[in-house]
Structure 1
Amino acid sequence: MEKRSCTDAIVLEFREDVALTEMMRLRVSSLQRSGQKRQDGERLLLPYEAVYRLDFPTQDLSFSRWYFSLCGHGRVTVTGICQLWTPDLTHLMTRQLLEPIGTFWRNAEDPEDSPLKSLEADMQEFGERIAELAKVRKVMYFLLALKDGAEAAKLSCSVEFTPQK
């Protein structure tokens, strides 16, 4: 979903790609049923992970900031996938995962209204990498891992960009 503010900023919301998530879960269950092992370097989806996407309406963007909200406590890790990945044709390989990863969290002992914690330098670099990759693609995929009580229904994650003039 795209929102525009009065400053012409573009806010893109991470949306779960249910079909890709399901396809990756089927790969895991297929390997388990047949007793086969994953391919060398293949990255299988873990039970607490899902595939999300950002759709870029324009390619010339500069990263501005993250918007992240989580009701309750938990940890959310956002890992970018650097290649234009098509799981119906290829398996996800670990070499396709971007660094740094984005991590947001609120500890169980923290008050509900306390701000989320994050590694700001990593989040800044990660946002800049996303803007860089947006120059050559219209969509980008991410793995979101929800741990320690975090739930997708209680999560909102988006990133703000400014169009380059």
Structure 2
Amino acid sequence: MAGQGPAQLELTLTPDPDLTTVMRLRAEGLRQRNEKRQDGERLLRPAESVYRLDFRRQQGLQFARWHVRLGQPGQVTITGTSQNWTPDLTHLMTRQLLEPAAIFWRQDGSDQLEWNEADAQEFGERLSELARVRRVMYFLVTFADGLEPAQFNASVFFDLI
């Protein structure tokens, strides 16, 4: 439908299995050696996976909306990171996690997706700002209440300005 509003760009959150594995190995290695994490270090938890968003375009993006699909009831929390990771050289530190996180959930017996609208909106707006200086952004995605990565899809729509 031409003329119905600004053109939009959809960017999909993509699993990053290599980075997830590296982060899991870090946590497992510390556990096996009975060592403690560095002060302020944030270790990947079992229900978390690393996802990435590749900005094909960096200028002229204005956050429009999230598009999240949960294949079954459960909850997902999407937390952005301020770090442009080099996992072989640096560890994720707690201070690198961005606030607020976007939380989406679906109740048992419902097909209706719910979310924390104000936080998801603010987080989305920050993505527009970060796109100007980043080609890639990483996220910790936490799955809860029986939801698993295979039942999750998410993308972000931006208006092209």
The TM-score, its normalising length taken from structure 1, stands at 0.91
Give 3-state SS (helix, strand or coil) of 1:42's partner: coil
Q: Which stretches in structure 2 are left out of the alignment for 5+ residues?
A: none
4+ runs of 1 displaced by more than 4 Å? none
Residue 121 of structure 1: aligned partner: 118
Corresponding residue for residue 42 of structure 2: 43
Give the one of 151, 155, 161 matched to 1:154: 151
The CA deviation string for residues 65-104 of structure 1, in whole angstroms up to 9 with x for no partner, is 0001111100100000012122111000000000000000
Corresponding residue number in structure 1 for 2:80: 80
Equivalent residue number for residue 20 of structure 1: 19
| d(CA) in 1 for partners of 2:6, 2:93 | 39
> What is the distance in 2 between the residues matched to 1:7 and 1:99?
28
What TM-score comes out, normalization by structure 2 length? Answer: 0.93
Aligned pair partner of 2:137 in 133, 136, 140: 140
Residue 154 of structure 1 deviates from its aligned partner by 1.2
**Superimposed CA distance per residue, residues 21-42 of structure 1 (whole angstroms, 9 cap, x where no aligned partner):** 0000000110001010000000
Tell me which amino acid in the other structure corresponds to 2:149. Answer: A
SS of corresponding position for 1:59 = coil
Count the aligned residue pairs.
156
Contact 2:6–2:160, Cα closer than 8 Å, also in 1: no
Give me the identity figure in percent: 54
Checking the alignment, whether the CA contact within 8 Å between 2:62 and 2:158 is kept in structure 1 is yes
Aligned 1:58-77 pairs, distance under 5 A: 58-60=57-59, 61-77=61-77
Are residues 1:106 and 2:103 paired? no
How far residue 7 of structure 1 moved from its aligned partner, in angstroms, is 5.0
